[in-house]
Amino acid sequence: MMGMKRLVLTLLLSSWLHQGGYGFQPLHPQRQSRNLQVALAALRVPQNPLTSSNNKQGNPPENLLVEDRSDNEEAPSLNTAAGGLITERFLIKKNMSQEDEIKINNADGIYGLSAFSLLISGYFRVTEFAKGWDFYQHEPIFWLKMSSVAVLGGLSFFPAIVFFKRDQARQQGQTLAPLSDALVERITTLINAEILALLTIPLFASLMARGVLYMDNFPWPLGVVLYVVSLGGAGYKYGKEAFEMIESEQALVPIGKEEEASS
């Protein structure tokens, strides 16, 4: 609507000056042509903001810098995941009782379900909500966030495997000794790292929502590779380490059979 008004005013002004309104001399034909071009420019169809030559500086299109309501849908999952991790952190200690381990196992399960829910909401955020894939594929911070999520998942393999294996042994009627000090210290360190990785998610989300480091020509396959390498590398490292420490620390050996397992 504003474009049509601008067009009409430009044409009227051009016609008025051409006729010598208020003593002005008629415009030179070349100036008349220029006025006509300005008027016609108002009717041009806007170019695709992602391919426009005006966006070569790497600034995100203004129409994509809008409020993303999916943030509100991610918040419950993120808060629940954080609550599960913090619960684990407060419960983990040396010489834990069986009841404490069961509580940690339950908290870890809640954390896992919340993390899965966070991935689902993140998928719809990228594909269905305000900004969409056209924005995120060009945003390096989005891929940093995804890599942080991948590392977070890899870190969680260690405590999840340890507590899951011990819970299976208890369900088979075995009475296990408390976790060794080395295992408790390692799990504590990894839970601390998980909490730090989780805190980076809202930070990265805030930065990418503002288009920080946005680049038109960012090669999104590079981001995919970074994500896959982070997930595969962290998952393999901490998963393998969990099985090795379970064996070396005799975490699944029933009480009274430690010496037999050592021999």
Do 117 and 24 fall into the same domain? no
Tally of residues, the chain: 263
- The structural domain count of the chain equals 2
Q: Does residue 72 lie within any of the structural domains?
A: yes
Do 34 and 104 fall into the same domain? no
Do 26 and 139 fall into the same domain? no
Do 67 and 21 fall into the same domain? no
Do 97 and 34 fall into the same domain? no
Tokens of 116: 């899965």
Q: Does residue 56 lie within any of the structural domains?
A: no
Do 148 and 212 fall into the same domain? yes
Do 81 and 170 fall into the same domain? yes
What pLDDT does residue 93 have? 93
- Parent domain of 228: 62-262
| Residuewise pLDDT in 10s, the chain (263 residues) | 544 444 444 444 444 444 444 444 444 445 445 544 544 444 444 444 444 444 444 555 554 554 455 455 567 888 898 999 999 999 999 999 889 999 999 999 999 898 888 888 888 878 777 678 888 889 999 999 999 999 999 999 999 999 999 999 999 988 899 999 999 999 999 999 999 999 998 899 889 878 888 988 999 999 999 999 999 999 999 999 999 999 999 999 888 665 555 55
Do 24 and 73 fall into the same domain? no
Q: Does residue 51 lie within any of the structural domains?
A: no
Do 27 and 155 fall into the same domain? no
> Do residues 162 and 107 touch, judged by C-beta distance below 8 A?
no
Looking at beta carbons, which pairs linking 39-44 to residues 24 or more positions away fall under 8 Å? 39/7, 39/10, 39/11, 39/14, 42/3, 42/4, 42/6, 42/7, 42/10, 43/3, 43/7
Between helix 98-127 and helix 140-171 the angle, nearest 10°, is 150
